[in-house]
Amino acid sequence: MKQLNKKVAIVTGASRSTGIGAAVCLALAHEGVDIFFTHWSSFDEIEGNGGERDFPNVLCDKIRKIGVRSDHMQVDLSDMNSPVLILDKVEETLGTPCILVNNATYESPTNFRTFNGEILDKHYMVNNRGTLMLSMEFARRYEFSFPQEKIGRILNLVSGGPDPNNLAYIATKGMIIAITEPLSVALAPIGITVNSVNPGPTDSGWINDDLKRDLLPLFPTGRLGEPADAAKIIKFLASEDSYWITGQVIKSEGGFLGK
């Protein structure tokens, strides 16, 4: 799959060594892709699954040792200016990207008793507005830089299911699922495919031992999802071999039974 060689990718939300974002960065780097990734340690340290303060530099060095270029920036996707800031920095350091992996997310457990407008807005600003505005800025710059190419890829990490304690998160991820097909139709004429991947429950640092015992019987394959599983399908969907696949929401979750 060295057809990806020398392409430039943006991967959002690569803040932790055990996360899907980091796994995607490394998988694409091994295929010769130059990697620009974003991170927001403030969320991971305060509300997320625990930050690793120097991890972005560690990951960047690891990517460069593979033999490709890499750079990164800390950015809050809820900031209205973040799409322009990100694309300006990528173009300055690596060139115009043709792959965008929307992995960054805001998630805070929410049931019907705790659900309120403030919590919903926090999810919306990152999971919807941040993701979509970054995608639009990416597409506009791609159209300008690659007017005759068919190599553009937008890949979203999404989620779903009947979890009553994650209402705001699942609702906002549902919006990304809903826009996948119409956005793919809009961007097909300029050579960008748009797909979303639901990796199911993935052991990326948030699953404790009790939850693991509850989830494991729901995986007929006999193990939980791993970040590398998500990274493998993202790598394929980023490749030229996937060009005829667009507008799809793909479940890659090992037959998970907890729909």
Catalytic residues: 169
Q: Do 208 and 224 meet the contact criterion of CB atoms below 8 Å apart?
A: no
String of DSSP letters for 91-146:
HHHT---SEEEE-------B-TTT--HHHHHHHIIIIIIIHHHHHHHHHHHHHHH-
- CB atoms under 10 Å from CB of 29, counted, come to 24
Q: Do 177 and 249 meet the contact criterion of CB atoms below 8 Å apart?
A: yes
Q: Report the sign of the C-alpha dihedral through residues 162, 168, 170, 174, in that order.
A: positive
Q: Do 220 and 255 meet the contact criterion of CB atoms below 8 Å apart?
A: yes
CA-based max dimension of the chain: 52
CA–CA separation, 104 vs 77, rounded Å? 8
CA distances (Å), origin 208, targets 21, 55, 144 = 20, 22, 46
Look-up: residue for tokens 């993701």? Answer: 131
The tokens for 108 are 């805070």
